[in-house]
Structure 1
Amino acid sequence: METLAKEFQDNTAPRLQKYLVLKSWWATNYVSDWWEEYVYLRGRTPLMVNSNYYAMDFVLIRNTNVQAARVGNAVHAMIMYRRKLDREEIKPVMALGMVPMCSYQMERMFNTTRIPGKETDVLQHLSESRHVAVYHKGRFFKVWLYEGSRLLKPRDLELQFQRILDDPSPPQPGEEKLAALTAGGRVEWAQARQTFFSSGKNRTALDTIERAAFFVALDEESHCYNPDDEASLSLYGKALLHGNCYNRWFDKSFTLISFKNGILGLNTEHSWADAPIIGHLWEFVLGTDTFHLGYSENGHCVGEPNMKLVPPQRLQWDIPEQCREAIENSYQVAKALADDVELYCFQFLPFGKGLIKKCRTSPDAFVQIALQLAHFRDKGKFCLTYEASMTRMFREGRTETVRSCTSESTAFVQAMVKGSHTKEDLQDLFRKASEKHQNMYRLAMTGAGIDRHLFCLYIVSKYLGVSSPFLAEVLSEPWSLSTSQIPQYQIRMFDPNQYPNHLGAGGGFGPVSAPEGWWLVAPEPWSFSLGVQTWA
């Protein structure tokens, strides 16, 4: 590798770098457009599990058990957020309370769909959408969000969702598993879309879904965190990550998922933005639902419904036998993928980031070094480790990689495993590993990371037809341990010390490598803005 690196640095890299410098003169961000296209939109594997990620509801409190009421409040809060976004009333997130983070990714949060193509997908973003698309018991519905120019109140939205829940009509032939097309391979979905959904009532119905503000899934099963059932949180996470493979529209910017017992969650398409962006919306929705909109004593939305509202509209399909075969094939691909995912979420109560900070250590570094120790004890070896860092201090910045497996962290792990070192020596080794990790995170955040730059050099090499053994080797190494986090309390809608039970369990994403794919769900003690912690 040293020989390949030296050859690359001396001979190939200077030529490739000139093209990147040239691009940086005219591009807003020399990484982001290629990152979106080549890492996301050109991916031909299923979005479900491989790309989309999920976010969980509050896990220790329950505002209402009425499914339609909870969705009514949530949808109303989301459109309130969209209105604030359109009016530019949302303040940017500040790093250290001083440096504003780029808000560009928020632009495509609503009215956005990923359209499948045979070679590459495209993102379709509309300036306005006045309805949501809803799925329940194998049927698709259109629900208007406005009456004239007035946004429907939560109680009116509850009425509309209750009408869907009470509708006894069966699915049309082929309709029930239709959304499995969005869960299977992208090429197959693109071919089916072109063949069966380019005209007539199928085109009209598909347009209704793709032009919706977002997608709503009204599930028939119940999920929640049950302290007496160890598997409950994991089952809840799996339901959000992939559902039954045909009750989510994985192409929409996000799907709002509602379970029968009133618990909510999100499944989010990844190409348009990273998790902190949807986390910002989700925090607003949960805070608005709990502290501003509220519920009546019997669990319904506040107010009286307008019974004269036009009922939700059933979408009409004409799905031929060939199309049903394509749907079934996509469903089988998606089901095999979903069945192959093992997810384990658990609650960790002994301590959280407060205690770690009292020890004058970065919580992020603490968790990352702990993961290195756990992985070594489990596998008996170290591996390439990915931790996501955001680069939103730059315009249109997305992410950078922090390579958490360092010589300092491995030295600490080996000393811990040996068991013959003194406590003072271990503390010293840990401190060095922690400082190294913090510094690497700081470098990644401020544009001095290496992975996105290597990625762009690789794209240039492909454009020029230049073969680089070094880049081929570097970019083919699997990330056997892939970790991430979701910032909590970005907008401070309530004081977590005053409401300690108002905790979200973070979110999760699928394994990024096989066969030893690892992934991390960030439960509340670790769900914080790592950028802020690192700088602290």
Structure 2
Amino acid sequence: MAEAHSAVAFSFSVTHEGVQVDYDRELLHIIFHSGVRSWRRNFTRFANNIRCGVYPGSLSAMVLSVGTYNGLYLTRQAYNHNIDPSFGLIDVLRKYIKLDEPSQSIVCASLSGVAVWLGVCYALKYSLKGLYQYKGWMYEERGRGAKMSLTSKVWLMTVKLLSQFSSPMLYSFQGSLPSLPVPSVEDTMTRYLRSVRPLLNDEEYARMERHAKEFQGGIGRKLQKYLILKSWWATNYVSDWWEEYVYLRGRAPIMINSNFYGTDAIVVHPTFVQAARAANVTYSAFLFRRLIDRQQLKPIMVSGTVPLCSAQYERTFNTTRVPGIDTDRLVHFGDSMHIVVIHNGRYFKVPCYYKGQLLTPPELQIQFQRILDDDVKPDEGEELMGALTAGERRPWAMAREKFFTTGVNRASLQAIDRAAFVLSLETESQDYNADKGTDLDGFVRTMLHGKGHDRWYDKSFNVIVMANGKIGFNAEHGWADAAIASHMWEFIMVQDLLKPCYDESGNCMGEARVNPLAPVKLRWSLSKECQAVIETSYKVAQALLNDVDLHLIMFDDYGKGFMKKKHLSPDAYIQMALQLAYYRDAGKFNLTYEASMTRLFKEGRTETVRPCTIESAAWVKAMENPKETDATRIELLDKACRRHQRGYQDAMCGKGIDRHLFCLYVISKYLEVDSPFLNEVLSEPWRLSTSQTPHGQTGKLDLTEHPECVSAGGGFGPVADDGYGVSYIIAGENNIFFHVSSKKSSSVTNSKGFARNIRKALNDMKTLLSSTKK
């Protein structure tokens, strides 16, 4: 490929004829427009930060306040009355601001108006913050026929009243969100003991109860005091430690163990032209980034009233995970005008802007087609280089420091680090086929780990485009949780599937306005020693991915429509099905993890719901007891679902178990205090780890209206060596997708077998609930 414009913008030489200057006019224009775009972007961000800082006040209210104060004060001077709207503030300012009249009066009255406006803005902001502390509405019945308490009604009306003065931007509510509260040790011990009761026999439970009481009355008090002190000082007492110790300090490979994936729509296939699909997806991704930069993305509101924290959106793009010897770090760059494309073992830097303007889909298609048509060979060692990000973290950190800090390697690695994201153009095709489960499995395996070397797993996310145009993504977990990546992906799906994007030939609609700067092949000089490290990481990655047993099923016998008709929470219903399936699979109950969010609080991330409860165990045993009546089983199922719903609500409201115990454990390590109770609790394996993929965050992908756009959601790898990872998405009224992962090396797990148990459990539950009209 011709690497156009890879030279410097200008050069000069001195000869006997004088000084000769050579310059590339087009490249200088591009540099100029890039600077203009950067200044415009920074100004927009500055203005938006001011707007968010004064929310729920508005800048128009400031103008009104200044105008009112000037009018009242000038009226006072004209008619010589004693009414001072500033209560003496203007007269105080006049002593320090020495100007001629009427300038002095106007300036002082204007400053007084601004001061009063700011006071009102912050009064409203902290009033909202106080109102958002109230969580009673979370525990009230919702739906048709449900009655709201008087307290919640008054609270709701007040919140809506204070929020109506201006339209919120993405980060408008950040200053109004409350801090995550620290539960008392007593409450956490009570909840913990209740959660492990179905897992322990009487003797084991008595021993655990003794340990818990000793901890509560002993070292737990001291650790709690330090944690409360941190909660007063830090914005969120959990999130920074969770990011560092759960994600960044892990030295194991992040491929499969940490990264997660998302998938394409099942039915619709808008184009088979790989370059065209890649172009439209890339364009849509940059549109999403623009919405984040300009804060035009609307914050997610629970019940249309209570906002979720938006802090995690900041690092969606231009972010990479940099390996370290003992701990990694997340590096976010302010802006990026290019992406990096991986194709056939080669890395290309692709400019996505021209003279400060984002390239259109037809222009981006030209870029990607150039890469597909290019027959340049990978540099020596380049083809497997991505395995460095898939293997152990410490060898990658040492290799980065030793081999990638000088010369072309440094420049090329910087291009990857600073890229908006990485796009992988696959040479193989994958497709969905409802009649062939292996095709479904093959597709999600491609998204989870690929070949172990054809992704840059350190980037915030990789977009994967198959040769036949099917797409998906693989995301690093440290920078944010799955809900943020899912929001971005849903936005891309809406742009790609619900708008006319492709012509009859499958190419992007429209004509290219310009001939964009050609992609540049990144160059690498990898020594034999470096290639040996790459080979070692590649072997680690191969062993890891070959051990993954991943299975995707589409359950379409019924969906949430039936569950809601029976007045049961769909999430609780599915969790009960998973409990029944696991008991049938393993013959016992085990510690179960379900992720919930804590984004009702500032910088909140996740909390653990423990679906295996006393109530769920009683229901499962009743289902397996042939002597039990259906009426009793239904009653126990209702109790189990309600108990699960309460646990989920507690987790969302800061009354969880596991993040509190985790932080107490971190403090104990800092203080070098040994706690047998915490050591045992934190070492318990989650043999069933579950998560629901969020859907409908854009509010534009209505599956009732567009059933062909149904997506299988996404998934993750197994958490325990002898356990299952289960991700599910409730897609529409009649479809549920389950991504089941485990390890082939385990003798006690089998993903397809567990999937069959899930299907059987769901059908048994429907049969049970259909046995009565109640």
User: Structure 1 length normalisation: TM-score?
Assistant: 0.97
How far did 1:346 drift? 1.0
Alpha-carbon distance, 1:7 to partner: 0.5
Matches within 5 A, 1:321-470: 321-470=528-677
- 3-state DSSP class of the match of 1:501? helix
CA contact (8 A) 1:487 1:527 kept: no
Residue 159 of structure 1 pairs with residue 405 of structure 2: no
Task: Give runs of aligned pairs for residues 275-354 of structure 1, distance below 5 A.
Answer: 275-306=482-513, 308-354=515-561
Aligned counterparts of 1:123 and 1:523: Cα–Cα separation in 2? 32
**Equivalent-residue separation in structure 2 for 1:521 and 1:422 (angstroms):** 30
Match of 1:27 among 230, 234, 259: 234
Q: Which has the higher contact order (CA 8 A, sep 6+)?
A: 1
Partner letter of residue 356 of structure 2? Answer: S
Q: Aligned match of 1:224 in 412, 431, 456? A: 431
Alignment partner of 2:715: what SS? strand
Distance 1:9 1:435 in 2: 28
Deviation of 1:306 (Å): 4.8
Aligned with 1:254 (options 448, 452, 461): 461
Is this contact kept in 1: 2:552–2:737, CA < 8 A?
Answer: no
Q: Which amino acid aligns with 2:336?
A: S
Report deviation, 1:406: 0.3
Match of 1:96 among 303, 307, 311: 303
Look up the match of 1:533. none
- 5 Å-filtered alignment, 1:200-215, equals 200-215=407-422
Bigger share in helix? 2
Question: 1: distance between equivalents of 2:314 and 2:516?
Answer: 31
Mean Cα deviation higher: 250-259 or 96-105: 96-105
1:121-132 aligned at under 5 Å gives the runs 121-132=328-339
Once the two structures are superposed, what CA deviation does each residue of 1:281-336 show, in whole Å capped at 9, x if it has no partner? Answer: 10110101122351111110011235632211000110010000000000000100
Output the CA distance in 2 between the equivalents of 1:438 and 1:227.
33
Distance 1:230 1:523, change over 3 A: farther
1:454-482 alpha-carbon deviations (Å, 9 max, x no partner):
00000000000111000001010100000
Question: Who is 1:191 aligned against?
Answer: 398
Corresponding residue of 1:531: none
Indicate how the Cα distance of structure 1 residues 342 and 388 shifts in structure 2: closer, same or farther if over 3 A, else same.
same
Deviation at 1:526, TM superposition (A): 4.3
- CA change 1:379–1:527 in 2 (3 A) is closer
Question: Contact 2:728/2:737 (CA < 8 Å) preserved in 1?
Answer: no
Kept in 2: contact 1:196–1:202 (CA 8 A): yes
The answer (yes or no) to whether the contact 2:559–2:730 under 8 Å persists in 1 is no
Structure 1 CA distance for aligned equivalents of residues 654 and 701 of structure 2 = 33
| 2:325 aligned residue (118, 125, 137) | 118
Structure 1 position 523, deviation (Å): 6.2
Contact 1:485 1:527 in 2 (8 A): no
Instruction: Tell me the SS of whatever aligns to 2:423.
Output: strand
State the one-letter code of the partner of 2:595: A
Larger of the two Rg values belongs to structure:
2
Is the contact made by 1:116 and 1:186 (CA closer than 8 Å) also made in structure 2?
Answer: yes
TM-score, normalized by length of structure 2?
A: 0.67
The reply to whether residue 481 of structure 1 matches residue 688 of structure 2 is yes
SS at match of 1:511: coil
1:9 aligned to 2:216?
Answer: yes
The structural deviation recorded for 1:514 is 1.0
Give the alignment partner of residue 511 of structure 1, picking from 680, 693, 718.
Answer: 718
- Please state whether the residue corresponding to 1:483 is helix, strand or coil: strand
CA distance in 2, matches of 1:99, 1:420: 47
The offset of 1:249, in angstroms, is 0.3
Shift of 1:422: 1.2
* Cα shift at 1:522: 3.7
Judge conservation of contact 2:462–2:475 (CA < 8 Å) in 1.
yes
Corresponding residue for residue 18 of structure 1 = 225
SS in 1 for 2:554: coil
- Counterpart of 1:185, as a letter, is E
Structure 2 match to 1:105: 312
SS in 2 for 1:92: coil
Secondary structure, counterpart of 2:551 in structure 1? coil
Matched residues in 1 for 2:512 and 2:227: separation?
58
Aligned residues of 1:347 and 1:523 also touching (Cα < 8 A): no
Structure 1 residue runs of 5 or longer lacking an equivalent are 529-536
SS at match of 1:345: strand
CA RMSD of aligned residues (A): 1.2
Residue from 332, 355, 365 that aligns with 1:148: 355
Note the alpha carbon deviations across 1:491-536, whole angstroms, 9 max, x for none: 12232211111111010001111123443344633479xxxxxxxx
Aligned length: 528
Aligned to 1:82: 289
Measure the CA separation in 1 of the matches of 2:409 and 2:704: 51
Q: Is the 8 A contact 1:386 1:402 kept in 2?
A: yes
- Determine if contact 2:596/2:609 at 8 Å carries over to the other structure: yes
